[in-house]
Chains A and B, each alone.
Chain A
């Protein structure tokens, strides 16, 4: 038996263009700090757990909802579930967290939250994603890690 997706017919949006590589980025002498576009590029191709679509195509992840502060070494990502009662919100958030944990230098403090007002259990989902002990325990669960790896592959 296959579970029917929470949102059977989500809106699908076009993918944005690839990042243009400027000449200053090729210049090794110019300090190239991590910015929101770079985080977006890391996250845009995460697969939705329910649809053969990426988080970018579903507009779960948008560059304008990503904030990077290099002075503070903080990264803040807000994601937008396609529907307010999406049961996959925690899994999507966890996938984002795991990918950033693996990709970013460890000095960054990463916060992953649901965009304000876009999910019925917004507060509960945010609290769970912020609890690093729960995240650490979840990442020792092989089945869950397998599902997350499929999403971030």
Chain B
């Protein structure tokens, strides 16, 4: 049997907590929400405590926070239309750059694995790619208008500069930069969800993508390159993404977030039914038609919608979640 054990309940935000983000080392995390502040948490003894509070960066709700891969920078995306970059070059965390360009709410921000690129997206239906040009300097490399409704989330491939976005238009798009003319283009559109795709997560290899939606399903997509042995037709040199698994009948309301652990391969979901769920790929799973088992259901993980879930990147089985109820919870996944 597998279970999620509550390690600590963290109260510190007023109103909805929209997002939590682990520092790449897994010994610190940041949180944000409706109260327009960012909190940085780390351990004192065996208890997690607020170490720093970042205020005055944004005028409206802060929707998402993301650490750079080096762990020195924190990006925050806000409904005020801006993305702020924080660092502690001066000794304490300060906002040293603000990315402006989106017409209204910015909903997601993500750093590329190299840390040289940033992506943002928002209600104006666009995805922006920014280059880190130097000290506190960020230059817009591309504005991608492939979606026809607001874009909910942007996520980078774990090892290469490939970007994926999910949207209110029910699709997921994949982009990359053309090496010849350095133009960013949409190289794949993933159709299958029947409603808003709220979030997405790559597996460790980047060959699989998990998406979660308002249609109450999770879908697993697999990429097939031009020289694939399975006979999947590929147009040109960009991989084809195929939906190879749909997890339906488990979630009873909108699924807001999904996290794919790069150490254990476990999938965790955050749902509007207040439940956290853990899925594991079956041992006899067919690589081209994988099956996943629900191995853990944490009822009433929060008293309201769970908005975000994230595995500790160190692979220690710690799981962070946050909710409309204003709380952040740290769980330990235990396989017995």
A residues lining the B interface (CB < 8 Å)? 106-107, 109, 127, 130-134, 136-137, 140
Contact = CB atoms under 8 A, between A and B. Distances in A.
Contact of B272 (A107, A109, A137): A109
Interface of B: 16, 34, 60-61, 63, 79, 104-105, 107, 123, 150, 152, 168, 195-196, 214, 253-254, 272-273, 303-305, 324-325
Contacts, number: 37
A119 to B, nearest CB: 18
Nearest to A132: B305
B168 A131 contact: yes
B196 A131 contact: yes
B61 A140 contact: yes
B325 A137 contact: no
Contacts of A136: 16, 34, 61, 79
Contacts of A133: 63, 107, 152
Could you tell me the dominant secondary structure of chain A's interface residues? Answer: helix
A43 B203 CA distance: 47
Given A106-B303, A106-B304, A130-B214, A137 B195 contact: no
B19 to A, nearest CB: 11
Given A109-B253, A140-B79, A127 B305 contact: no
B196 A137 contact: no
Contacts of A140: 60-61, 79
A109 B273 CA distance: 8
Contact of A137 (B123, B214, B304): B123
B106 to A, nearest CB: 11
25 contacts: A106-B303, A106-B304, A106-B325, A107-B303, A109-B253, A109-B272, A109-B273, A127-B196, A130-B214, A130-B254, A131-B168, A131-B196, A131-B214, A132-B305, A133-B63, A134-B123, A136-B16, A136-B34, A137-B60, A137-B61, A137-B79, A137-B105, A140-B60, A140-B61, A140-B79
A107 B303 CA distance: 7
Nearest to B80: A140
A131 B303 CA distance: 19
Contacts of A130: 214, 254
A107 B305 CA distance: 9
